Amino acid sequence: MSFIHSIKFRFTIWYLLVLAVLLIALSGGVYFYLSRSLYQSLDRALAIRCTQLCSIQDILESIRRGEFQEQLGEIVILYFYSGDQLVEVSAPGIGVSLSPEFVSKTIGGSSSFVSSQTAEGERLRLVAVSINLSTLGPPPGIQPAALVIARSTRQIENILARLVGTLAIAVLLTLALAAGGGIFLAGRALKPVDKIAQTAQEIEENDLSRRINVNTKDELGRLAATLNAMIGRLEKAFQRQRQFTSDASHELRTPLAVIEAESTLALQKERPPSDYRQSLETISQEARQMSSLIEQLLTLARADAGKEQWNFAEVNLGKLIKDLGTDVEVLCQEKGLSFQLGQTQDLVVKGDEARLRGLFMNLLDNAIKYTPSPGTVSVSLRREGQMAVVAVKDTGVSIPAENIPFIFERFYRVDKSRSRTEGGTGLGLAISRHIAEAHGGKIEVESQVGTGSTFSVWLPLLSP
């Protein structure tokens, strides 16, 4: 990434722009204030000088005669008018341009200040007052006269020019230093970003155990913590996926090994038909087991990919449970178990009937599988607030407390060999939980050694 495209650069540019605007505004303020003060003191000095000169008749006389000794850089001139016409100037050689409006205002009696310039282009600040001619003894017919005192503003201009130069250098120097400081500070503040990017680049799919080591309490620290949490979740997901793949291949290997061994044994030599029949029965049972496992694996794969088709409609749970009860009763009888259809009511939920049937059938099938004869399997339906609760109860082997937190995990079985003998795959409860959750419900289990287990499925009732 080039420096120009970095946040560091953009931060610094914005910071410099803001600083430049502030410094220029500040410098402008200083310039304006100083220039106003200087011109105001020049005007005050001119006013005092004017009062001095006007109060002494001899001085006015000497000005008129052109004999007055001006101070350095000062111009003093008397203008005599007849009506609006200028008829006499005390120092005709010095050309100070005065606007007619200014002259008539002065002659009218008000003293005023104005900026002007000499014929040579030198800038002047001047004050003009009308003076009392009676004492001066004017030439006959000449009435109004104006005394003009002008001083060069060169000194003020020099001071202001020096000020502009100093301020310009100060502003540029400050901006240069601020740019250096800004890049340094932005670099320091954004250093964790480099660290985050570097660690993220180093993390590979097969090594998600690494974490970003940024432990500050600021925004970047929070970002690092969020990314670390995300990497943690990814790590767990990858672990689960690896575990699932290895469990699935392991589960498929067992029936395949049995099929292979059984067929090899059968083909080794000529055998009586009853031996072949037995071998084929074993092979067929293992094939059924594999096909059921593959079916369940496909269901979970579709669930993980979110590609399941759900046919949601109104389902009368009471009716569904009674239907299932008829089938389950036969299965219980086959195993020497008694079946009880407990209390049911007509509770309606919004659901996929086939999937809900599969869920309850799996729980009932487990109850039958894990309950030795003589024992009892029962199913009931009740209402709890806005939920319908289907409870499948058995008096079977029960689940030890330490195994309960894991039984809904994929391939988790309390007694692996027992589950396999019973045709179990270890995926039934994981699928059942997925179906319950997809309906906005949940599944819970209670089990006590010696008394059996109760699986309860909670499903939200259809709002009236």
The residue ranges that bind ligand ADP (CB under 6 A) are 366-367, 370, 394, 396-399, 407, 413-415, 419, 424-430, 453
- Sequential DSSP letters for 366-385: HHHHT-PSS-EEEEEEEEET
From residue 374, give the alpha-carbon distance in Å to each of 92, 104, 334, 367.
141, 132, 12, 13
- In the bound state with ligand ADP, the residue whose beta carbon lies nearer, of 192 and 255, is 255
- The answer to whether 146 and 75 have CB atoms below 8 angstroms apart is no
In sequence order, which ranges of 214-370 are alpha helices (DSSP H)? 219-268, 273-305, 317-335, 353-369
Task: Give the nearest distance from C-beta 358 to ligand ADP in angstroms.
Answer: 12
- In the bound state with ligand ADP, the residue whose beta carbon lies nearer, of 453 and 456, is 453
- The answer to whether 199 and 212 have CB atoms below 8 angstroms apart is yes
- In the bound state with ligand ADP, the residue whose beta carbon lies nearer, of 90 and 453, is 453
Question: CA angle, 452 as apex, 451 and 457 as ends, to 5°?
Answer: 130
CA distance 268 to 263: 9
Residues in the chain: 464
CA distance 67 to 377: 137
Task: Give the nearest distance from C-beta 430 to ligand ADP in angstroms.
Answer: 6
- In the bound state with ligand ADP, the residue whose beta carbon lies nearer, of 385 and 450, is 450
Token pair of 41 as six digits: 């003191």
- In the bound state with ligand ADP, the residue whose beta carbon lies nearer, of 288 and 383, is 288
- In the bound state with ligand ADP, the residue whose beta carbon lies nearer, of 282 and 378, is 378
- In the bound state with ligand ADP, the residue whose beta carbon lies nearer, of 201 and 417, is 417
Is residue 187 packed enough to be buried (19+ CB in 10 Å), middle (13-18) or exposed (0-12)? Answer: middle
Which helix or strand (DSSP H or E) is residue 68 part of? none
